[in-house]
Amino acid sequence: MKIGVVVSEGPYTHQAADTAYQFVKAALDKGHEVPRVFFYHDGVNVSTRLSVPPQDERHIQKQWTALAQEHEIDLVVCIAAAQRRGLLDENEAKRQGKDANNIAEGFRISGLGQLIEMGIQTDRLVTFGD
Amino acid sequence: MSDIKKFLYVNRKPPYGTIYALESLEVVLIGAAFEQDVSLAFLDDGVFQLTRGQNTDAIGVKNFSPTFRALGDYEVTKLYVERESLEERGLTEGDLQEITYEDEDDDWEEKPSIRVVSRAEMAGIMADQDVVLSF
C-alpha cells in the first residue's frame, strides 16, 4: 500500500514527529511504500539543521534525514508555514534578502500542492498531530 | 488529473488563538486548483470559524473570515456544520456568515454553501471520503 504521512506538530514539544517516524519505519518494514512525508504547521520545525538537542537525546531531524536517504522518501516542508516560522532554504534566503538558511539535508521546501498531490496519489493519508 | 477523490477538510478549532484554522483555509485554497471533490466540515470549536461579525482589531491578528465567502469562486461549495456543536455553544445558523455559491448546473442560481447537519450525518459524510485532513 502507498501511504502518505503528514506531520503537523513541532519536534520535542509534541510526540507527533517521533510517532510519525516510528510509523514510517514500521510501514516500510512491513513492505508498504511511503513516497512522501509532508511537514505542516509547527511540523516544519523538524527540518532545521540548527537543532542541537542534548547528546543523550534523540536527534529528530537527523533521524528523518537518515530514514529519507535510506528509503528515498521525499520530505516536503510547506513553504508558507516555513517562511512564517523562519525556515528558509538557500534559494528562499536569497530571494527574501536573508543572511542565512537552515533547511537540513534530505528536506525540501515546496508548496501545499504537494500535500494535495500526496492525497491523490497515495492509498492512505495518515496525519500525526493534535 | 484522471481520478477525482473526495477530500474533506475537518475544522475543529476556533479561528484565533492557534494557527490551525488559518493554515487549514490555506490548504483549501491551494487544493482547489486540483479539481477534486472538496467538502469542509466544521465541528467542536471549529464552528466559531464561520460566525458573522468577527473583529480582530484588539488582538492584532488578521481577520480571515471574509475569505470563506470567496470559496464559491473556487468551486468549494459544501460547508458542513455540525448542529450539536452549534447548540453546545449557544449558537444557531443565524449566527453564521451567509456563504453562497452560484450553481453552474442550475442556471447559476445563488445557493447557500453552509449545510447544517446532525452529528450522525457528519459521521456518514466522513465515512464517505477518500482523504480526510484534520485541523
CA distance B51 to B86: 10
Closest residue of A to B133, CA-based?
Answer: A127
What is residue B62's predicted lDDT score, i.e. its pLDDT? Answer: 95
| Range(s) of the domain holding residue B21 | 6-134
Query: Is residue B86 included in any domain, yes or no?
Result: yes
A110 touching B, CB under 8 A? Answer: no
What is residue B74's predicted lDDT score, i.e. its pLDDT? Answer: 94
Position B2 pLDDT exceeds 70: no
Once rounded to an integer, what is the mean pLDDT over residues B28-33?
A: 93
Residue A50 · residue A32 · CB < 8 Å: no
CATH number for B82? 3.40.1260.10
Residue A6 · residue A117 · CB < 8 Å: no
Task: Categorize the per-residue pLDDT at A33 as very low, low, confident or very high, splitting at 50, 70 and 90.
Answer: very high
> Cβ contact (<8 Å) for B34 and A6?
no
Chain A nearest-CA distance from B27, in A, is 6
The end-to-end CA distance of chain A, in Å, is: 25
> Cβ contact (<8 Å) for A120 and B34?
yes
The CATH superfamily holding the domain A2-128 is DsrEFH-like (3.40.1260.10)
Position B71 pLDDT exceeds 70: yes
In this prediction the pTM is 0.94
Selected catalytic residue, list A78, A82, A88, A104: A78
Cell of B57: 482589531
Query: Is residue B50 included in any domain, yes or no?
Result: yes
Total number of domains in chain B = 1
Once rounded to an integer, what is the mean pLDDT over residues A112-127?
A: 97
Position B1 pLDDT exceeds 70: no
Based on the residue annotation, tell me whether A78 is a catalytic residue of this protein: yes
Domains of chain A, by residue range, sit at 2-128
> Cβ contact (<8 Å) for A41 and B5?
no
Query: Is residue B1 included in any domain, yes or no?
Result: no
